């Protein structure tokens, strides 16, 4: 059995790690390279950096940041946010990213999944999916949940896999920020139908939520941000608790 992974996520704007709710009320919480180094030292298995810059200048800053992360951090890291072309993906991978993540661009142009996978390999590509329950149907959404699409979560995840995605990162917008736990039943269904790794995102609030997720074999990895940024959960303590619960984890 493969070890379960713990993945802190850092939202980056103009070179600084920020945190807010749906990108509103953002405030700086630290230097992304230094935070990444600390998470790596604490035992994080991977990192995710999401570029939420709104300006071209911010995009250039993010590219420079990716190079700095690659030089200073030894664990794998994924970058996402604003990737809409093969050229965007190429620039980030050449800057040193281990993987790239696409979300809205994949919804708008599903062929981009195949383009990137064909050029760089599926192992470099994460397709992120945001979804929420609308009229008893898990509907894919974009723009932080503000824009509804015609896609359904489970069929879209399978299509993304078939098109070449190497991993799926599913965020439940109904759970995100609530700290009430991950949507385990939906994650388990996704995990059972996919043959590629699944990353759970949205809802982590305590160590018990990670235990529930992994004990139920609902996902291969757990992503979280604020509980790590504000030291509500420390990764070494989390991993010890997971090990005590007979969950395969890298210490």
Instruction: Name residues whose C-beta falls within 8 Å of residue 154's C-beta, 6 or more positions apart in sequence.
Output: 138, 189, 190, 193
Q: Can you tell me whether residue 66 is helix, strand or coil?
A: helix
Q: How far is CA 94 from CA 67, 80, 91, 99, 120, in A?
A: 9, 14, 5, 11, 11
Run of H or E residues at 142: strand 137-142
Task: For residue 222, give the nearest of 234, 231, 213 by alpha carbon.
Answer: 213
- The partner residues of 80 in beta bridges, in order of sequence, read 50, 101
What 3-state class would DSSP assign to 10?
Answer: strand
- Tell me the C-alpha distance between 189 and 192, whole Å: 5
Catalytic residues: 11, 130
Burial of 141 (0-12, 13-18, 19+ CB in 10 A): buried
Q: Where are the alpha helices (DSSP H) in the chain?
A: 32-42, 56-72, 86-95, 104-108, 111-120, 153-163, 184-193, 207-215, 226-229, 235-244
């Amino acid at each position: 059995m493969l070890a379960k992974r713990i993945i802190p996520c850092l939202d980056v704007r103009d070179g600084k790690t920020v945190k807010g709710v749906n990108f509103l009320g953002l405030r700086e919480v630290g230097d992304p390279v230094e935070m990444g180094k600390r998470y790596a030292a604490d035992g994080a298995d991977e990192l995710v950096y999401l570029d939420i810059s709104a300006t071209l200048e911010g995009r250039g800053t993010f590219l420079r940041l990716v190079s700095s992360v690659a030089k200073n951090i030894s664990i794998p890291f994924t970058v996402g946010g604003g990737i809409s072309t093969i050229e965007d993906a190429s620039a980030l991978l050449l800057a040193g990213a281990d993987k790239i993540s696409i979300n809205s661009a994949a919804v708008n142009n599903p062929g981009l999944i195949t383009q990137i996978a064909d050029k760089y390999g599926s192992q470099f590509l994460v397709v992120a999916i945001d979804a929420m329950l609308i009229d008893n149907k898990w509907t894919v959404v974009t723009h932080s949940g503000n824009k509804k699409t015609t896609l359904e979560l489970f069929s879209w995840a399978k299509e993304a896999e078939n098109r070449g995605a190497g991993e799926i990162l599913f965020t439940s917008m109904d759970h995100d920020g609530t700290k009430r736990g991950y949507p385990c039943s939906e994650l388990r269904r996704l995990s059972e139908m996919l043959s590629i790794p699944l990353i759970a995102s949205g809802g982590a609030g305590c160590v018990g939520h990670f235990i529930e997720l992994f004990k139920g074999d609902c996902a291969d990895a757990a992503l979280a941000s604020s509980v790590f940024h504000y030291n509500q959960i420390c990764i070494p303590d989390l991993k010890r608790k997971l090990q005590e619960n007979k969950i395969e984890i890298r210490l």
